[in-house]
Amino acid sequence: MALHALSTIDSVRTKEQVADMHFMEARSKLLELAAFLDRVERATGAPDYRIKGLQSALPLLLKGGTERVATILHHWSDPTINPADKAETKVASGVWSGIK
Amino acid sequence: MRYIEPHGHMVSRTTDDYESMALAGCAAICEPAFWAGFDRKSADGFYDYFCQLTRHEPKRAAKYGIPHYSWLCINPKEAEDLGLAREVMALIPQFLQAPNVLGIGEIGLNKNTRNELKILEAHIDLAVQHHQLILVHTPHLEDKRKGTRLIVDALKSHGKVKPERVIIDHVEEHTFREVVEQGFWAGITLYPESKASPQRAVDMLETISSQNVWLNSACDWGHSDPLAVPKAALEMRRRGHSVEVVDRLIYQNPLQFLSQCAKFKDPGVIA
Ligand SMILES: [Zn+2]
């Protein structure tokens, strides 16, 4: 099936316009992430696989292209194919526990 | 502004939420059956829940002038117990004639287990036998991609499922394209943390597809926002999309899908 995205509005939007609209929000989220990583660093105990998973995605932010979100979501996804024999838990943690 | 909330768990919300939604232009709400946040111990608990969805909640919504519709199933989080799941499924046909029931949902997978998959397949079969629309929940977070693929395979391998009568909900950037490319409808869920933000949702509409897709808040007992759909509309307007385009996304698209069930009435709200 052919997909129809909204419009060509992106191509008429300038980088400055996007920054005017969303820069402060993105800046604030980056600082929140930095603060979170500092907080983790100050804490005691063994490393947490979720934090490792989060950190392993950071280099993907610096790659070019327009698919960063999808790339990161794929990176965090369970790569297995077959159904699990049973559920060990009902919840998902946000990153696949097997990420190296 | 007018909009349809095609996925809201209103039994978890207050009358203040109904009022806010009505004031924001909500013209209809559809409520899929879901997990209560704890496991129900017997089929009787589900019987009561189905009564709540088909008889009581519509009355609560009516006090705010909003038509209320529902979808029925046993959700995947409670599908590990095959015995209970089959008992609950046996209750569903007697409720399908209720005037506000639109179909079977939200079925799907949670941790992508064999038992969840068996109950998903049984629900698909139930829907096909009773000519019902299907609303599918895809798993959370790291389980979503694998679960979406297993769900699409199950729907396609059934043989009698019409993809245009199925909406696969909670798509994100890594699953949206494959869902709509296979002819299914997709739902983008707007959640404060664990799914899409209004900004990401509008990015997806701009870059992947604005057809065969609806936006929903899936507001429930967890961290969620019953006004998420109008907030996405505001994001579209800020970016320069016309009132007509916004109306298509938040009103006409859900109306197009839901009208495949004759029980869903066009709310008739003027744009
Ligand atoms: Zn839901």
Cα–Cα distance for residue pair A94/B91, rounded to 1 Å: 35
User: Least CB-CB distance to B211: which of A4, A81, A86?
Assistant: A4
Helix residue ranges per DSSP H, chain A: 9-12, 15-42, 49-61, 68-76
Q: Which residue of B has its CA nearest to A67?
A: B173
Q: Quick one: how far is CA A49 from the chain centroid?
A: 15
- Tokens 């899409």 belong to residue: B196
Residue B191: domain span: 3-258
Q: Where does chain B show beta strands of DSSP type E?
A: 3-5, 26-32, 68-72, 101-108, 133-137, 166-169, 185-189, 213-216
- What pTM value is reported for the model? 0.97
Digit-coded pLDDT (tens) for B64-102 = 999 999 999 999 999 999 999 999 999 999 999 999 999
pLDDT digits (tens, 9 = 90+) for B94-136: 999 999 999 999 999 999 999 999 999 999 999 999 999 999 9
Q: What's the domain count of chain B?
A: 1
Q: Are B186 and B167 in contact (CB under 8 A)?
A: yes
CA-to-CA distance for A63 and B133, rounded, in angstroms? 41
Averaged confidence pLDDT in chain B: 97
Are residues B123 and B104 in contact, defined by beta-carbon separation less than 8 angstroms?
yes
Amino acid at the residue B268: G
The long-range contacts involving A28-31, CB below 8 angstroms and separated by at least 24 positions, are: none
SS3 B40: coil
Asked if the peptide bond before residue B106 counts as cis, ω within 30 degrees of 0, the response is yes
Q: How far apart are CA B14 and CA B35, in angstroms?
A: 18
**Would you call A83 and B199 a contact, using CB atoms and an 8 Å cutoff?**
no
Chain A residues near residue B248 by CB distance under 8 angstroms: none
ipTM of this complex: 0.96
3-state class (DSSP) for residue B44: helix
> Could you check whether the bond before residue B178 is cis, i.e. omega within 30 degrees of 0?
no
**A95/B142 Cβ within 8 A:** yes
Q: How confident is the model at residue B270 (pLDDT cuts 50, 70, 90)?
A: confident
pLDDT tens by residue, chain A, 100 residues? 667 888 655 557 899 999 999 999 999 999 999 999 999 999 999 999 999 999 999 999 999 999 999 999 999 999 999 999 999 899 999 999 999 8
Strand, coil or helix: B189: strand
Altogether, the residues listed in chain B come to a count of 271
What is the distance between the alpha carbons of residues B8 and B25, in angstroms, rounded to a whole number? 15
Task: Tell me what pLDDT residue B228 has.
Answer: 98
Nearest to A92 among B115, B143, B206 (CB): B143
In a domain, B264, yes or no: no
Q: Is residue B270 part of a domain?
A: no
What CATH number is associated with residue B107? 3.20.20.140
Residue B265 resides in a domain: no
8 A C-beta contact, residue B127 and residue A99: no
Q: Which of A6, A78, A83 has its CB closest to that of B117?
A: A83
The C-alpha atoms of residue B12 and residue B224 are separated, in whole angstroms, by: 11
Q: Which residues pair with B101 in a beta bridge?
A: B70
Question: By CA distance, what is A80's nearest residue in B?
Answer: B146
